[in-house]
Amino acid sequence: MRRLFSVEEKENFTVVSFTFDEFLSPDFLKKLVPPKVDFRKGVILSGRGPIWFYGYLIHFYHPSKFIAAYDPRLGGAVVVESHCDEHEVGDLIKV
């Protein structure tokens, strides 16, 4: 399977985006190695994928400063966990 992660560095967070060109099998998670990021910054996840794929990434990036998931309907990313004072859970980060 061809898969594509792309990583964009911003001052306070890293945007980890992905696209898939095929149906994703859960087995795929067993050998998945997501991009490394600087855990001192936050992570914004963006892309279309199954809920469990996001679930895996959210767990994977748990040590980062905060994690937010991009929602195109909101035009921004919603913070789902945070270990810092700048962003709290439920905040919308415009991107």
Collapsing DSSP states into helix, strand and coil, what is residue 26? Answer: helix
Q: How does strand 76-82 pair with strand 92-94?
A: antiparallel
Q: Does 69 bind its own copies (CB under 8 A)?
A: yes
DSSP state of 41: S
Q: Are 80 and 68 in contact (CB under 8 A)?
A: yes
Scanning 7-15, 33-41, 61-69 for contacts with its own copies by CB under 8 A, the matching segment is 61-69
- Considering only residues 5, 20, 34, 92, which one is a binding residue for its own copies as defined by CB under 8 A? 92
Among 55, 63, 75, 86, binds its own copies (CB under 8 A): 55
Q: Is 89 in the site for its own copies (CB under 8 A)?
A: yes
Residues that bind its own copies (CB under 8 A): 26-30, 45, 50-52, 54-56, 58-59, 62, 67-69, 71, 73-74, 77-81, 88-92
